[in-house]
Chains A and B, each alone.
Chain A
């Protein structure tokens, strides 16, 4: 049996556009264990969704292409599989749920139909058995009157309930890995909390690994064992939740954490934000990509690209000055 469930090595996914080649994911490597809950955080456009889509091989040529890299899943390199074999993996071994539950389900088929379709595809059962599995899946995600609701259409469900249906669909075939791409972003805060705790319980029960992609640090804090922070197509820091939240090593992570409003802080006049805007992915800055926005950047940061290395504090970080800076003692915004 393989050591890690998922082993991504030097993944690069590029998109060809009129203005040039967009290097959305540029050298991303990470490993996920069975049953682990990994959070992937970053701003819009940092490449976290593209990474997930690349793992599922949902990137469509000719617009986008996985240029290089390997994705080892359960012993096999996903990038070397045929399309038919990959279809087997999708939904059956790796399930993915998306951001907007309002549009994720086909409006002209009942929820039951869509669930049964998935089950029949990946499991060798009869139609009535599949129906039973579907009903029990709906029960698991706490949809009341599951049996009757099977005959309902997606538009008869609220946003939160549709997302539950999506989770049910994703977990119905007992996948080893669940990729959730911003699953609660489109929902209100209360529903968010419900969905996250539901996912927590279900993943625990079945020992399903979860790759949770989000830009919301609050969501990640309550849910994930380990967190990796992405910026401009690369991973800049990776560690346990404790390490990241209490002792960030990378200035970007430090900036992100500082920009959160927290109940335990004294009131300030203004919110701190990481100044500037994300760089162009067609023509990324030389050296460290975060350099232009970094309060601590020096000459070396503008020359050489930092590599993800082990920091003595426990997590991995990609910053030239990580060992010099003691970020946890600094208050964000008072750098000059």
Chain B
């Protein structure tokens, strides 16, 4: 591969905080402290409810249909204890929300945060968490029902649950 595509790729990784560029020297793979996850979740407490609200507000018929479909996939992945499927569905849902919300500024703010959160979460959690799955489904249903208020509350519940899981893991690490 030539240098230009590599440079572009590294720039993209850097934009998502997965690499750090050292001018005139090269790039480092970013080292992430475990506390970074809690920091990101503190940010998501403010941002996820806004995203869920905007998604519910702006979802068209076709988006609602896709949301419902994703909800069914989540349910079946939980029933089958299929973590690999959850990783894909979660990525798909987040991309759908970032697109449907209709706010490019919110989307570019959240994309790198989600990239790193996913790296943390799915590195550590090997089986689907049932109680998280339940409130996660409630969030999807609220958005599919085009209920901004309910979606906002559900999104906050999801972040709080993920935070609780992350905290327990940190305690486990020590």
Partners in one complex: no
Give residues in B with beta carbon < 8 Å to A.
none
